[in-house]
């Protein structure tokens, strides 16, 4: 795993073992993630989405604490995965990085407080992501993925297709005014709190399925 330019995000580039049957790789290993990030990853929920070409999902984030760390991979097709630093006071605040997830089977880990989005570059793009906390609508938010202040460079050859939720999400400036963004200080404190890790792994809120 190697760190990305947005602090708190890492990219896994796995070794693929190929033979006449196909290929095999390890897409998640707790010891490797801990060695890279210094943190455990308590699994509370796993999500699976299928998107047609041009679909943009996000930018999604959650209150910290407890937030929601994610571990994301694309199992079919290709997506442009985007990580956005929404932690006010962070040295990389309002910065973003995009990575292509495809049949090379990369995976992205992003810590609590970071925003996540992706665009499907192929039809039937299938994305799987592990979550450190369960779906909790009362503490989950979004930022408009086409916010000109963030100026995310979505592929020019697609026409973004957004859900109603994402198309009506506030801009980053509006989110600042609403006071819904996590602070960098809160996130750092949470990352360093062993009690927080325990709470995330033992408390899974009830609710309907999240539609990222």
In the predicted structure, residue 208 carries a pLDDT above the cut 90: no
Give tens-digit pLDDT for 57-110: 999 999 999 999 999 999 999 999 999 999 999 999 999 999 999 999 999 999
Question: What average pLDDT is seen over the chain?
Answer: 91
For the cut 70, the answer to whether the pLDDT of residue 169 exceeds it is: yes
**Averaged pLDDT for residues 177-203:** 75
Residues 60, 105, 116, 144: which is the catalytic one?
Answer: 60
Pairing assessment for the beta strands 79-85 and 2-3 based on DSSP bridges: unpaired
Residue 204: is its pLDDT beyond 80? no
Model confidence at 205: pLDDT above 50:
no
Q: Which of 71, 105, 109, 129 is catalytic?
A: 129
pLDDT computed for residue 194 by the predictor: 52
93 belongs to the catalytic site: no
Q: Is 129 a catalytic residue?
A: yes
| Lowest-pLDDT choice from 23-37, 42-56, 115-129 | 23-37
CATH superfamily assigned to domain 2-192: Jelly Rolls (2.60.120.10)
pLDDT at 47: 97
Provide the whole-model pTM.
0.89
For the chain, what are the domain ranges? 2-192
Q: What is the distance between the alpha carbons of residues 29 and 145, in angstroms, rounded to a whole number?
A: 31
- Mean pLDDT computed over 180-200: 77
Residue 193 pLDDT > 60, yes or no?
yes
């Amino acid at each position: 795993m190697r760190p990305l330019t947005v602090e708190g995000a890492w990219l896994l580039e796995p070794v693929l073992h190929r033979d006449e049957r196909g290929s095999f790789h390890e897409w998640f290993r707790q010891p490797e993630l801990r060695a890279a990030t210094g943190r455990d990853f308590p699994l509370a929920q796993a999500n699976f989405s299928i998107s047609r070409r041009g679909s943009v999902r996000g930018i999604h984030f959650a209150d910290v604490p407890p937030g929601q760390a994610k571990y994301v991979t694309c199992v079919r097709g290709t997506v442009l995965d985007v990580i956005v630093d929404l932690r006010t006071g962070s040295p990389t605040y309002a910065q973003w990085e995009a990575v292509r997830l495809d049949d090379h089977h990369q995976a992205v880990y992003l810590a609590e407080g970071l925003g996540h989005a992706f665009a499907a570059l192929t039809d039937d793009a299938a994305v799987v992501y592990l979550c450190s906390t369960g779906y909790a609508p009362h503490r989950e938010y979004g930022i408009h993925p086409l916010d000109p202040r963030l100026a995310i460079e979505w592929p020019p050859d697609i026409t973004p297709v957004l859900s109603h939720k994402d198309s009506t999400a506030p801009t980053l400036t509006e989110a600042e005014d609403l006071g819904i963004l996590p602070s960098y200080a809160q996130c750092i404190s949470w990352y360093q709190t062993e009690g927080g890790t325990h709470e995330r792994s033992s408390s899974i809120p009830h609710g309907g399925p999240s539609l990222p």
